[in-house]
Every structure is written in structure tokens, then in C-alpha cells.
Chain A
Amino acid sequence: MKVEYTPFHPRWHRPRVPVFWWLRRRSYLLFVLRELSSVFVAWFVVFLLLLVNAVAQGPEDYRRFVDWSATPGLLLLNVVALCFILLHAVTWLFTLSPHAMVVRLRGRRLPPAVIGVGDLVAWMLASALVIFLILG
């Protein structure tokens, strides 16, 4: 009998995790909601491109776009999207980046709270600029 080499792989111990593991704790749920906010970031890109296209086509198309975005379904979608975008913005600017960014000033690391304040100022300036540009 020919003895062959059989590669043996030990079985890993992997406890089974239920699919909805993230419903068990508030912090887990928040994690998944933050991840899901990216879907609404992508939706915003689609919405923005449709708007820019409608404006470029002429006043008639623009009016039709505004009427379409005022339908209940789309309004609801955009309200939900705005909630998720705000969750993304708040967690990104005030929880993630103050701890992830290492900014050194004269050899010392800036404390996270200072970076958070910087983010807040940047956010307010960017929003003011957007509103100023669009509303003139």
C-alpha cells in the first residue's frame, strides 16, 4: 500500500456567531449603523449628480427635478439619509478623527479635544461656504 502524504490542517475553534449579533448591544448596533451610513453617502452622490444634470439641462428639467424630490417617498428617503449622514459626520469628526489623527505642535501631541474643536470649526466653515455659494 502506498502511503501518501496528506496535509493535515487542525480545525480551528470558531464559536458560531448569530447573524444578528450586532442587535445584542447598543455599541454594536451603533457600529453597524455607522457602517450603513456609507450607503446613504453613495445615495447622496446619485442624488447630487441627478440635480447637477437637471440644472444643466435647463429650467424646465430643474423644476421637474424639484417636484420629483418633493414627493413623499423621496422626502422620506432624504430625511433618513440626512440622519445617517449626520451620524457619520458627528462620529467621524468628533470621535474618530480626534483619536486617529496625531498632530504634533512643537514636539507635543495635540490633545484630542483640540482636534475636535478644529473639526467643528472646519465643519462650520465648509457648511457656511456651501450655503453662501448656493444661496448667494
Chain B
Amino acid sequence: MRRLLYLLPFLLFIGVGVAFYMGFQRDPRDIPSALIDKPVPSFTLPPLPGRPEGLSAAGLKGDVTLVNVFASWCIPCKAEHPVITRLAREQGVTVRAINHKDKAEDALAWLARNGDPYASIGADLDGRVSIDWGVYGVPETFLVDRQGRIRFKHVGPLTPQVVEEQILPMVQHLRTQG
């Protein structure tokens, strides 16, 4: 019993050491969304000037939709743009966007330059709707099911790997679910 007491510091240290070791396999910057499996926040965003359709909570019902939060000033957004374009044009996923804290003319110029795969874009000038979505750094991407519930969130630029391994299977699954 007494000997066990002297062993206690060693055992505690083993626990801490294992935690440190396992800590390497995680990214402290990954933050989970509080909104998973919750309906999208109620919101209505106007379209970019000269465009017909904005974005609203009601508009996200009925189809499985990828909602991408982007801005023309965001460098990683440009990096993920080809991935999103392919997803929309070749893999047939409906992609809509929230244009986060941007100037309308900058956003339009950016889309003209890089292509516009989005079915519709809501302009979030002051970033308030983005806060309702729990966005903390562009780009962020959400997957919304037919009932308009948020089912998945990815922070940072989308990569082909994330699309293949997480988004496409999830889209398939949500579509068959009805």
C-alpha cells in the first residue's frame, strides 16, 4: 500500500505522457461547429448587384446543398475555388455561397476572373449572417440536407481529398435519405 503511494507519481506521469503523445495526432486549431444537425439559422441575404437571386434559409430546403463562405480578399479561397468549381460542374452538387465582408464590385470582379460555380450568392456585407452560421475564418464550407439542417462543416480551403473522402459520400448519403 505504502509502496503504491510512491509509485503514484510515476503512474500519473505515464498518463500525462500518453496524452502528450496522442496530442500530436490532433490539430488544436480544429474547432467543432455548434450547429451540426441543427437547422440553418434564419436569414435572408440580398444578391450581389445585378444578380437575380440572393440566399435565405428557405432557399436551402429541398436539395442537398453545399454552402461555401468566401471573400475576394481571402487567399485560400482562391486556392479552393477550382475544387468547388469541379464539385459543382462535374460532380453535380448544388453549391451556393455567402460572400463574406466583401465589396460588391470586388466580389463580382473576382468571380469574373475565377469563374462562378455558385447557383446563388448572398452578400453578407457586415458579416452578421456569417456569425449566425458560426463562421470564424473564411473559407468555410457547410453541407445542408434537404430539410435545411447543417450536417457537416469544413474550416479552411476544400481539398480534393476532403471532397472525395468526406463531402461526396455525405452528399450521396443525404440524397438517398430523402
A and B physically associate: no
The residues of A with any CB-CB pair to B shorter than 8 Å are none
